[in-house]
């Protein structure tokens, strides 16, 4: 999959993921995402979910998060 992910970037994304994952269950739900980005418009979520939620379970795993983030 993502050979271009450097260790440094991966470490940063893991930290970001952990800070977003409020209950620490290893998945970021839509509610957790919105709690972290309250300024994000509601209409942005469906697009995020379409793009980021590869397996369609309604939450972001670390792998999905890494693919989603620039
Ligand atoms: Ca969580
Ligand atoms: Ca998912």
Instruction: Say if pTM beats, i.e. exceeds, 0.85.
Output: no
Domain count, the chain: 1
Token digits for 26?
């290893």
With respect to residue 2, please indicate whether it lies within any of the assigned structural domains: no
With respect to residue 42, please indicate whether it lies within any of the assigned structural domains: yes
Q: Which domain holds residue 65?
A: 27-70
Distance 7 CA to ligand 1 centre (A): 23
pLDDT of residue 4: 66
Residue 59 host element (H or E): strand 59-60
Residue 27: half-sphere exposure toward Cβ, Cα within 13 Å: 11
Kindly give the pairing relationship between strand 59-60 and strand 28-29.
Answer: antiparallel
Ligand number nearest CA of 56 is: 2
With respect to residue 64, please indicate whether it lies within any of the assigned structural domains: yes
With respect to residue 19, please indicate whether it lies within any of the assigned structural domains: no
With respect to residue 18, please indicate whether it lies within any of the assigned structural domains: no
With respect to residue 10, please indicate whether it lies within any of the assigned structural domains: no
Ligand number nearest CA of 55 is: 2
Q: What is the pLDDT along the chain (70 residues), one digit of tens a residue?
A: 555 669 999 999 999 999 999 999 999 999 999 999 899 898 988 998 999 999 999 999 999 999 988 7
pLDDT of residue 69: 81
**Rg, Å, the chain Cα set:** 12
Do 40 and 31 contact (CB within 8 A), yes or no? no
């Amino acid at each position: 999959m993502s050979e271009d992910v450097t260790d440094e970037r991966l470490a940063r994304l893991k930290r970001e993921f952990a800070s977003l994952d409020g209950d620490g269950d290893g998945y970021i739900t839509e509610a957790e995402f919105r709690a972290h980005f309250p300024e994000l418009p509601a209409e942005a979520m469906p697009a995020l979910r379409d793009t980021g939620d590869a397996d369609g379970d309604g939450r972001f795993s670390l792998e999905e998060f890494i693919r989603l983030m620039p």
